[in-house]
A and B are shown apart, each in its own frame.
Chain A
């Protein structure tokens, strides 16, 4: 295998240039003040103290709350979905998984605009409610609209890993549980659920990561006032132009996510 090692060189160079160098620069930005030249840096922790005292902590808490809510809903809706898909014949399963992923082929912006059309005050849902004689309900620019957008966008990232772990499961283990006296509910709790935990953890990590750092969906479905950590970082870089503070927020988010992932890995019973 050794002679093939050289083949990884282009990727290594690419990764160094496109991932490692930008990361180092973000770290550098995080710990410096504005207006540095290439040669002189003035290091500071101001960016962090600014974050800690501002309303920014609330923004991060809100992001995590929404991220957890989205992840929870995706799990609640996605697990049964994955479970029922895994019951079908292999051919049908492939088709159903295709159906689950088809929305992802369409640009996320487009899908989100579609939700705006559905949820707005004179949108399709409110028009239908009007036909039933119900007054219009404000759904746009609320937590509700943001969570709906997030759940719909990230659901496949929950369904697919869970489905994978359910469908590759050794069916004789399920039969063994029945055989040893477990009814259907006990078999689910003691065998199927246990064996699907790696998939569930993967799904949780994917959805949580995506929903905690997203900025397009909250911007469109939550409105301009709606601030999540992703939007905060975006405004720092794009509108405010304070790259140092923006980098610091990114770093904080990254560290929290790393800790979270570590904890998730620890929960996997098949992980030593």
Chain B
């Protein structure tokens, strides 16, 4: 069993009259890559700033190794941050930026030089010691910022949308590298982003937030395959969300049809919502499916076609490699394991 490193207990935060955090409870483990994911204004950055010590919670506790730290100033915490816009000191060169924390600890010059060059090697900037940070590219500045934080050997590294300012290709590359670095140094990374793809591809655990509340905590596959509510289903990937009834365990009704499913544990006749991921739907001949409709629109997306099918009750989005021309009558087929039943928002 992994050890709990940070525990957030019923954390709230008000700015003026606005409540930005409404009771956050979260356990963060050692050596974990955890992502706080949500739209802007959901409270993810505030949560991060409270962990870093830049903001104090209005109520609640922050425990670090079991000790309450919410009043401890940032410079006394074993936590370092990689800032959104890097926040490198413009009047210091690369090496002096990285050595900032070590110089404060009055470490031996030769030890500092050694640590700095080791860090630069790890982030792939060997020999950049004397460079002017203001002349580096965004990606390079980001690497310096990561090295500057990690050289202090923190227990936790906080990253506040660190890839937001980079272009798509470098962002992809940095994603892989960040994950690699996290494995190499073996510490906890807490990563804030609004980019769901980034969250799913890097994290061990994803915390989906909205409106100052945690919507779901789970592994990337859990979050994607078994969203707990409409918000998570909608925010992560694309989905068809349909209101229906749970007739009994393993049997669900929506759009006037009953389907076998793999969900259980709901009260009989409970109003629920069903998620059908577009890629789980198949276009078949109309007589081979219960739900039928007419193709309204087809968009070529590269790997697949996005086909909009209009049925009697609604429109479905289908992602498939098979082409179906507009106006054709088609059937929509899916298996019991493709149906995912969720509690209705606000019902829990």
Contact = CB atoms under 8 A, between A and B. Distances in A.
Given A179-B81, A180-B100, A173 B75 contact: no
B148 interface: yes
Contacts of B54: 175, 178-179
Interface in B192-210: none
Contacts of B74: 175, 178-179
Interface residues of B, number: 24
B115 to A, nearest CB: 14
Contacts of A190: 100, 104
A181 interface: yes
- Chain B contact surface mostly: loop
Contacts of A176: 81, 83, 87-89
Residue from the set B52, B101, B148 with the largest chain A CB neighbour count within 10 Å: B101
B87 A173 contact: yes
Contacts, number: 62
Nearest to A197: B91
A170 B87 CA distance: 8
Interface string B304-328: 0000000000000000000000000
Contact of A172 (B83, B101, B149): B83
Contact of B85 (A172, A177, A186, A195): A172
Contacts of B90: 195, 270
A194 B91 contact: yes
B105 A181 contact: yes
A180 B79 CA distance: 9
Nearest to B54: A175
B77 to A, nearest CB: 8
Interface in A135-188: 170, 172-173, 175-183, 186
B83 A181 contact: no
A191 interface: yes
A173 B81 CA distance: 12
A189 to B, nearest CB: 11
A38 B244 CA distance: 104
A269 interface: yes
B152 interface: yes
Given A180-B100, A180-B152, A181-B152, A175 B105 contact: no
The interface size bin for chain A is 10 to 19
B83 A182 contact: no
A270 B133 CA distance: 12
A170 B84 CA distance: 12
B80 interface: yes
Residue from the set A173, A181, A183, A195 with the largest chain B CB neighbour count within 10 Å: A181
A177 B149 CA distance: 11
Nearest to A272: B132
Given A172-B83, A186-B104, A179 B89 contact: no
B335 interface: no
B124 interface: no
Contacts of A195: 90-91
Interface string B69-104: 000011100011101110111110000000011001
8 contacts: A170-B85, A178-B73, A179-B75, A179-B81, A180-B149, A181-B104, A186-B104, A190-B104
For the complex of A and B, 5 pairs with smallest distance between CB atoms: A180-B101, A172-B87, A176-B87, A178-B74, A179-B81
Interface of A: 170, 172-173, 175-183, 186, 190-191, 194-195, 269-270
